[in-house]
């Protein structure tokens, strides 16, 4: 741990601080806990970059930390050689408070290292940043975003030349570079206007939007289904004040939809997210304005994208007239079945089709794939792992072509033009699928019931156990250590059959010990297989102070599955009190 009092005083004495920053720190001079929280150590740089609460301090997101991280990242690029500098970086940002300023400062630091920068003129969806890296042949990308986190957060996401988030070995280099660079005196930045004049910073915008949209529309499988219902089919859309506000409605329009109803209050770009407590499309309470509008315009479909437009949430109207959330797992299953059947129908199924998901996502997708002779691939949570799997397929040259990649946390990816979650393409595909079912007189909820009848009943739930405060990381680590050293033999009244420890790859059976190994390893995840086709999976979040617990149940009866999930949920909540 850093000598936090000494670091605090160093910041107070630094001429790099603005008057506002100095007063912010001076105000906490007598609050040791707050000083410790801000200066106990830097935000940890990993494959997802940085993410944290905004404010002055070493463990906060601010202009100094952004410059510092960028200098370390720029050193990595420079070390790759002159060609890497010329290929340069693409930089984007979302709607959050300070995001435009952070993006501009990152551009100035890169320019000072002789790295060519393509900087988006204004906020853009995260998938377009991934697309930009691939399309322009850039060495890397930087995105200033905290995705779906609350308004107090911001973040710094980094990408490599494949358009995916930074590989672990490069992230380690950046972290080491940061440790060797002084946050104030070790950073060099070029004047923005000078960098533009010298051609080191190039502003990009609408031309890249157009290229991205062309690729998005190329994923449409059956646009005729949309045209057949376009005169009547209604869609309500909300960007939650964020970066999907232009491209998602445009993609839906080009798909052929005629009646798209954006939520006016949430089309306003505002990093304070004034209409919602949390801009996370996983939270149904944020859709209240969209529900009101949907009832007014008589729409049975609502689509919502998070502030950086990489996640998409959907609500559909039930037979009771109310709107119900379609979870990320349910949408993944719906899309998997639709993409497979639509491609089979129009003859565009590749010879070796694959669908990718994660170890914490619904097992329904595996069943769908098995029933339709489609290969199923499983990775750790995070699209960087899916991108690695796709790169492996390409390197092996065995002909696998993926149709869809998704994870339970409302993220979906299609096509070879992005290597991250893509709510723009997903919104378009969801609308096409909904139109297909609309033509049959079905909502997406009806379609989900039809899948359960066809493949069996699957119920899932994610429980978040928050461990905030200075001791949060230690409590999270202690919980995982305790579960490893003394694993339960029973959870929620259900016997533990096997335990998969994805950290070291061991698979153990209570009473027998280690019996085999997991196909993948190296992630801090414990997977408890319970009797009656139930799973209890636990892992620390990489972006928030919480433990995530995933509960998966399979059976023939929804009520019985739900009872198992509810019992496991109670057991999950109880872990937070230990």
- The pLDDT value recorded for residue 46 is 86
Is 347 inside a domain boundary?
yes
Nearest to 281 by CA among 328, 317, 321, 243: 328
CATH code of residue 547:
3.30.310.50
Among 422, 455, 488, the domain boundary falls at 455
Q: Residue 9 falls within a domain, yes or no?
A: no
Q: Which helix (H) or strand (E) holds 528?
A: strand 526-530
**pLDDT tens digits, residue range 143-181?**
999 999 999 999 999 999 999 999 999 999 999 999 999
Measured over the CA atoms of residue 135, residue 141, residue 143 and residue 146, the dihedral's sign is positive
Under the banding of pLDDT at 50, 70 and 90, the label for residue 76 is very high
pLDDT digits (tens, 9 = 90+) for 336-389: 999 999 999 999 999 999 999 999 999 999 999 999 999 999 999 999 999 999
Confidence at residue 489, expressed as pLDDT on a 0 to 100 scale: 93
| Residues 303 and 417 grouped into a single domain | yes
Confidence of residue 578 (pLDDT cuts 50, 70, 90): low
Over 70: is that where the pLDDT of 577 sits? no
Cα–Cα distance, 106 to 63 (Å, whole number): 9
pTM for this predicted structure: 0.95
Residue where a domain stops, chosen among 437, 455, 473? 455
Residues 186 and 322 both lie in one domain: no
Q: Which residues are catalytic, by number?
A: 147
Domain of residue 470, residue span: 457-575
pLDDT digits (tens, 9 = 90+) for 428-470: 999 999 999 999 999 999 999 999 999 999 999 999 999 887 7
Query: Does some domain include residue 31?
Result: no
Final residue before a domain boundary, out of 455, 482, 513? 455
217 and 195 in a single domain? The answer is no
CA distances from 166 to 7, 90, 402 (A): 29, 14, 21
Average pLDDT, the chain: 96
Residues 441, 556 within the same domain: no
Measured CA to CA, the distance from residue 123 to residue 104 in angstroms comes to: 12
Rounded to whole angstroms, how far apart are CA atoms 490 and 493?
A: 6
Name the nearest CA neighbour of 340 among 387, 373, 314, 380. Answer: 373
Q: Are strands 506-509 and 513-517 parallel, antiparallel or unpaired?
A: antiparallel
Q: What is the pLDDT of residues 505-521, one digit of tens each?
A: 999 999 888 889 999 99
Clarify whether residues 262 and 141 are in a common domain: no
Q: What is the pLDDT of residues 250-278, one digit of tens each?
A: 999 999 999 999 999 999 999 999 999 99
Asked if the structure places residue 30 within a domain, the reply is no
Q: Are 56 and 62 in contact (CB under 8 A)?
A: yes
Distance CA(242)–CA(533), nearest Å, equals: 40
Q: Which runs of consecutive H residues, i.e. helices, occur in 233-327?
A: 247-255, 288-297
Residue 227 counted as domain residue: yes
Mean pLDDT of 468-486: 88
Q: Which of 228, 442, 206 is nearest to 317 (CA)?
A: 442
**pLDDT at residue 493 greater than cutoff 70:** yes
Q: How many structural domains are present in the chain? A: 3
């Amino acid at each position: 741990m850093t000598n936090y009092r000494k670091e605090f005083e160093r910041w107070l004495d630094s001429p790099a601080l603005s008057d506002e920053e100095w007063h912010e720190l001076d105000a906490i001079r007598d609050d040791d806990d707050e000083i410790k929280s801000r200066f106990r150590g830097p935000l940890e740089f990993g494959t997802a970059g940085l993410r944290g609460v905004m404010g002055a301090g070493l463990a906060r997101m601010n202009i100094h930390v952004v410059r510092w991280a960028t200098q370390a990242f720029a050193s990595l690029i420079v070390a790759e050689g002159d060609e890497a500098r010329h290929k340069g970086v693409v930089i984007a940002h979302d709607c959050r408070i300070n995001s435009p300023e952070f993006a501009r400062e990152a551009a100035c630091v890169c320019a000072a290292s002789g790295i060519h920068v393509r900087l988006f003129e204004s906020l853009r969806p995260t998938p377009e940043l991934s697309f930009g890296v691939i399309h322009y042949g850039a060495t890397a990308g930087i995105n200033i975003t905290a995705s779906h986190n609350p308004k107090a957060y911001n973040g710094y996401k980094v990408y490599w030349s494949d358009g995916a988030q930074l590989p672990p070995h490069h992230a380690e280099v950046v972290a080491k570079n940061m440790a060797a660079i002084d946050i104030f005196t070790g950073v060099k930045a070029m004047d923005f206007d000078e960098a533009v004049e010298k051609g080191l910073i190039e502003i990009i915008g609408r031309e890249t939007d157009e290229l991205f949209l062309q690729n998005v529309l190329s994923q449409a499988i059956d646009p005729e289904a949309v045209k057949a219902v376009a005169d009547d089919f209604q869609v309500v859309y909300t960007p939650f004040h964020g970066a999907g506000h232009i491209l998602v409605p445009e993609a839906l329009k080009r798909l052929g939809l005629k009646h798209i109803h954006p939520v006016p209050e949430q089309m306003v770009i505002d990093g304070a997210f004034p209409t919602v407590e949390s801009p996370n499309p996983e939270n149904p309470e944020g859709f209240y304005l969209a529900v009101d509008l949907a009832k007014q315009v008589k729409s049975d479909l609502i689509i919502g994208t998070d502030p950086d437009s990489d996640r998409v949430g959907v609500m559909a109207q039930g037979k009771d007239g109310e709107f119900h959330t379609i979870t990320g797992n349910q949408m993944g299953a719906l899309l998997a079945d639709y993409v497979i059947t639509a491609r089979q129908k129009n003859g565009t199924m590749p010879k070796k089709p694959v669908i990718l998901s994660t170890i914490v996502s619904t097992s329904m997708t595996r069943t769908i794939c098995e029933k339709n002779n489609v290969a199923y691939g499983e990775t750790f949570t995070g699209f960087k792992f899916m991108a690695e799997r796709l790169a492996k397929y390409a390197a092996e040259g065995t002909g696998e072509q993926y149709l869809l990649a998704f994870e339970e946390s409302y993220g979906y990816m299609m096509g070879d033009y992005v290597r991250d979650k893509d709510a723009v393409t997903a919104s378009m595909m969801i609308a096409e699928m909904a139109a297909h079912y609309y033509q049959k007189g079905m909502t997406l909820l009806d379609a989900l019931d039809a899948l359960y009848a066809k493949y069996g009943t699957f119920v899932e739930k994610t429980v978040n156990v928050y461990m905030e405060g200075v001791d949060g990381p230690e409590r999270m680590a202690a919980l995982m250590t305790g579960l490893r050293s003394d694993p339960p033999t029973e959870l929620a009244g259900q016997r533990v059959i096997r335990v998969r420890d994805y950290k070291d790859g061991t698979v153990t059976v209570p009473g027998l010990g280690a019996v085999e190994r997991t196909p993948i390893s190296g992630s801090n995840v414990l997977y408890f297989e319970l009797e009656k086709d139930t799973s209890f999976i636990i892992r620390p979040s990489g972006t928030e102070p919480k433990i995530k617990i995933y509960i998966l149940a399979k059976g023939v009866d929804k009520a019985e599955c739900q009872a198992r999930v509810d019992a496991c949920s109670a057991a999950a909540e109880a872990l937070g009190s230990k």
